[in-house]
Structures are given as structure tokens and as C-alpha cells.
Amino acid sequence: MQYMDLDTRVRRWARGRKLRSRAAVAAAVVGLGTAVGVGRVVAPEEPVAPAASAAATFASTAAGPLAGAGAAEGGAAWDLPNLDHPRVDYFVEVFTGRQRKMFTRYLTEMGRYQPMISAKLAERGMPQDLIYLAMIESGFDPTAYSRANASGLWQFIADTGRRYGLDINRAVDERRDPEKATDAALDYLQDLHDRFGSWYLAAAAYNSGEGRVSRVMRAATGSVRGDEESYYRISTRLPKETRDYVPLMIAAARIAKEPEKYGFEDVVPGAPDRTEAVVVRPATPLAEVAQSAGTSVDEIRRLNPELKLARTRNDEPSLIRVPAASTDGDRRG
């Protein structure tokens, strides 16, 4: 077998895994040499600014081109059509009424993931408002798991997750990796939009499957392609969950864009974790990773919810998030 040094193996691994993050780029030049096989590859992110008001934070998700967009009362910007419908009004009442506590948690958790998701949407030129699809799917809980065996921020079932490049095995479940799952979800949503010509129809297909939406569209309209109005034309022929899927997303967006209007002015968005990525050799115990990073195993697990075992996977190196060091002397290793 041809010998490859670890740098070369990591470079090939990063390319093969199609990682697009700064961590993957940095992995191409890292040298690993600590006793437990942990090598720092990414400088800490810039310090997180003090929490802004809920309105200022959530309004930032609507930044960008507004071609074809509507505006809610009060002037909130949209880059998905904000169509009125009785079910949208109903879910606004639900979120501001009996599910207020749950929706408050959603708004708080949104602050942790909005910068990452927003940046990925902007990079692809996709609507910023698609972040609200993740909100109604998981409430921004990367460990969320449904009765249908869907998992992660974007609630992939295993087959679809694997189809879009996520590893799901005994050691890891990348549906729970916020960055990798977001890349996969945006790939899937873009494919669905290319097929159906509408983000509402893409969302419906994301929920119930492209085959079902294609069949219903052909039967109702004679074509699989349509616009946002098409969703409401066919919604009564879709399963109940899918029938309410877009109204849920639009209702969540209306509140999140103008939280003060709906009585959520006191919500403080959570701040993204300040982390850096390290390359860890196969089968490294998480206790050793934590010791090297100067943190706890529980914190390593929290920052890397895709990990299923008390060690890293044993078939290839892993990129692991650890708390960012405030100074070079803050990290043991």
C-alpha cells in the first residue's frame, strides 16, 4: 500500500467528503502532532457581539433581493411570497397563544443557527426565508427526532439524508450535524425548486416527497411545475401535514420577522457558539478530545451532536468542534 502522510490523507478525505466549510479548507494544510491526535485547524471565530433585540436579529433573515416578494403589515421584508390564507392566520394564533412558550424557545434557538444558515443561503442565492422551514421542522434543535424517524435541524429521513451525502452509521448521524445537514437540505430544496418551479411546492415536496407532489400536480394542473398559488390549488389533495406545511412556515416567518408586533419583544436570541474545528484521528476517545481541548465530554457532545459513541469514528479522521480558545495559552495539548 502506498504510504500517505496524515496531511495528504486529510486533504483527500476533505475532498471526498465534499466539505465546504472553512474547517474543510483548513484541514488541507494542518499538521497533527499532539498525543491524542487532536490538531487545531481553524482560528476562532470573531467574538460574538452582545445580543441584539429580537426584532433586529430576526429581521436580518430577510436581507437581500426581494424579487417577487411581498411585505407584511408594518413593512417587514420577504423574499418568499407572503400569501394570505386562513390557515396562516390560524397558526399565527396558535403560536402566539397556546404554543407561545414553545415558539419563544424557537425564537431563542434561531439566534444560534441563523448566521450559519443565512450565510449558506446567501452563498447560493436562495431565499433567506427558507430558514423558517428549519424552524417548523425542528425548532432549531439538532437532536430532534420524529415519530417518522426523521432527525436533525432539517428532519431528514435516513434514505434522503444518505442520498444527499450524509453519513448515517453506528458511529455518526450527520443529519444531526447542523452545517452538513444544512448543506444537504439546501441541495435538496434547490433540486425540488428546479423541478417544481415554486418554493411553496418545493416545501410541500420536502415534507411529503417529490413523487406525491408530482402526481397531484399533474392530476390537478397537467404539469409538475407551477407557482405559489398552485400549492393552495392542490393542498386539499395532499396529506394533512403537508396541507398545513406552508401555512406553518409563513405563520412562523410573520411572527419572527416582527416579534414585537406579536408580543415577543422580550425574547433574547441565543448567540452562536464560538468554536473552532480540530482534526481528530480515528477511534479517539471523546474524553481525550475533551482533555486536550480543556473542556468536558458533555460539551464535546453538545457541540458535535452527530457523534453517537464515546469515541470518534474508526474508519477516517473526524473534524470535531471544540470551544474556541480566547488566547493561544487557553488550550491544553
Active site residues: 137
Closest CA to 202 of 173, 240, 242, 164: 242
- Indicate the helix (H) or strand (E) that contains 323: strand 318-323
Closest CA to 315 of 9, 4, 38: 9
Q: How many Å apart are CA 175 and CA 162, to the nearest integer? A: 9
Q: Which three cell numbers stand for residue 68?
A: 417577487
Q: Strand 318-323 vs strand 275-280: parallel, antiparallel, or unpaired?
A: antiparallel
Q: Which three cell numbers stand for residue 58?
A: 430576526
Distances (CA, A) of 182 to 4, 27, 165: 32, 20, 11
- b/e burial code for range 20-34 (CB count within 10 A of at least 16 → b): ebebbebbeebebee
Q: How many Å apart are CA 239 and CA 199, to the nearest integer? A: 18
Helix (H, G, I), strand (E, B) or coil at 53: coil
Q: Which three cell numbers stand for residue 285?
A: 476517545
- Indicate the helix (H) or strand (E) that contains 264: none
Contact 256, 133 (CB under 8 A): no
Contact 142, 112 (CB under 8 A): no
